[in-house]
Amino acid sequence: VSTIENLQIKLAARPIGMPKRSDWEFAHSVAREPEDGEALVKVLYLSLDPAMRGWMNEGRSYIPPVRIGDPMRAGGVGIVVASKSPAVAEGDYVYGTLDIQQYATLKAAGLTKVDPKVAPLTVYLNVLGMPGMTAYFGLLDVGRAVAGNTVVVSGAAGAVGMTVGQIARIKGCRVVGIAGGPEKCAYVRDELGFDAAIDYKSEDLNGALREHCPNGIDVYFDNVGGATLDACLARLAMHARVVICGAISQYNNTTAVTGPSNYLSLLVNRATMQGMVVFDYAKRYPEAVREMAGWIAEGKLKSREDVVKGIDTFPETLLKLFRGENFGKLVLEVAAP
């Protein structure tokens, strides 16, 4: 019988606007023993994602909301401590939907083994994980970016944005990043090799887009929505592709989402705007991981994680995403490996 103490952070209330500490319940229990086909996983690193804000809301989306009283949903990497499945063994490092807790008992079939010799464990939550897959398929499949294109990406210093820009460079595109603050802009330009970066907090976005995209935008990869989407729509090139990946500027709205008013630019430029959900590409993840692991090994693709220690900090750490305080993929360290 398990005597392993477990701390779970459960959704206590559906937030209005920014989530508050009182929207969470810290619940202490004993980790459940695995049954046939299950494994008990010690949680090491959890992925904190903007999408979590949407999962806290009632209502239909691409996956059901987290129910009140359930542990908060989260992807994570951990180590198997007990297994009743041939799929994984004690000591294996795995990725899965581990949720915001110290120990997860779950079906082994939902776990993917990860190899810390190929890349540090946190990279499996970033470039070689969900944000990396989003960048790869969003840019290449939905955005159909090809050499010579001008690609603009917002949220450029974040998990998805950083990888979008780097892949676009690898593919021979001209890349302009939009990010908040001089430090993030300098990073994507000087360290990641973007051709230009625009600080939307201090620069005139329309003027800067005119300057850096003299022939218009062929692919706009949108992570933020709102005014930035409108400014990019106004600069589209003929047959441009707009990839709707996310709209973080709208996630904590207490009023209706603000939609783009410049959408007739799609008509004038025979352009398309398409939404994407990364899970639709699950069958093709291995091909992307193979190619991206190759780029990492060749030094062409960098992964940057912003690791915050301590499961107790979860309610405040999550908010870093909505305040622009994370620099790279936001990861919560629950236990050191």
Ligand X SMILES: NC(=O)c1ccc[n+]([C@@H]2O[C@H](COP(=O)([O-])OP(=O)(O)OC[C@H]3O[C@@H](n4cnc5c(N)ncnc54)[C@H](OP(=O)(O)O)[C@@H]3O)[C@@H](O)[C@H]2O)c1
| Longest Cα–Cα distance in the chain | 67
Q: Which of 34, 50, 75, 260 binds ligand X (CB under 6 A)?
A: 50
Q: Which of 248, 293, 301, 311 binds ligand X (CB under 6 A)?
A: 248
55 contributes a contact to ligand X by CB under 6 A: no
322 contributes a contact to ligand X by CB under 6 A: yes
Cβ-count burial 156-172 (b if 16+ within 10 Å, e if not)? bbbbbbbbbbbbbbebe
Beta carbons of 283 and 123 less than 8 angstroms apart: no
Q: Closest separation between CB of residue 284 and ligand X, Å? A: 14
Single out the residue of 130, 189, 182 nearest to residue 165, CA to CA.
189
4-12, 70-78, 242-250, 307-315 -> range binding ligand X (CB under 6 A): 242-250
CA distance 34 to 123: 27
Q: Coil, helix or strand for 307?
A: strand
180 contributes a contact to ligand X by CB under 6 A: yes
Q: Closest separation between CB of residue 279 and ligand X, Å? A: 7
49 contributes a contact to ligand X by CB under 6 A: yes
Q: Closest separation between CB of residue 271 and ligand X, Å? A: 19
Residue 54 burial (C-beta neighbours within 10 Å; 0-12, 13-18, 19+) = middle
14-22, 79-87, 154-162, 307-315 -> range binding ligand X (CB under 6 A): 154-162
64-72, 75-83, 98-106, 239-247 -> range binding ligand X (CB under 6 A): 239-247
Q: Closest separation between CB of residue 83 and ligand X, Å? A: 30
224 contributes a contact to ligand X by CB under 6 A: yes
Q: Closest separation between CB of residue 49 and ligand X, Å? A: 5
7-15, 84-92, 213-221, 245-253 -> range binding ligand X (CB under 6 A): 245-253
How many residues touch ligand X (CB under 6 A)? 30
When the beta carbons of 193 and 324 are compared against ligand X, the nearer one is: 324
For residue 20, what is the DSSP state?
A: -
Q: Which of 108, 217, 236, 321 binds ligand X (CB under 6 A)?
A: 321
Q: Closest separation between CB of residue 276 and ligand X, Å? A: 5
Among positive and negative, which fits the CA dihedral 77, 83, 87, 91? positive
DSSP character string of 241-291: EEEE---GGGTT-SSPPPPPS-THHHHHTT-EEEE--GGGGGGGHHHHHHH
7-15, 259-267, 271-279, 295-303 -> range binding ligand X (CB under 6 A): 271-279
Give the pair of three-digit tokens for residue 174.
């001209």
Q: Which of 125, 139, 173, 245 binds ligand X (CB under 6 A)?
A: 245
For 323, residues 6+ apart whose C-beta sits below 8 A from its C-beta are none
11-19, 150-158, 210-218, 308-316 -> range binding ligand X (CB under 6 A): 150-158
Partners of 178 in beta bridges: 154, 198
Q: Closest separation between CB of residue 29 and ligand X, Å? A: 29
When the beta carbons of 98 and 318 are compared against ligand X, the nearer one is: 318
Beta carbons of 92 and 78 less than 8 angstroms apart: no
CA distance 150 to 173: 6
CA angle in degrees (0–180, nearest 5) for 248-76-186:
45
CA distance 63 to 281: 15
46 contributes a contact to ligand X by CB under 6 A: no
160 contributes a contact to ligand X by CB under 6 A: yes
Which residues contact ligand X by CB under 6 A? 49-51, 131, 134, 155, 157-161, 179-180, 184, 223-224, 245-249, 276-278, 321-322, 324, 326, 329-330
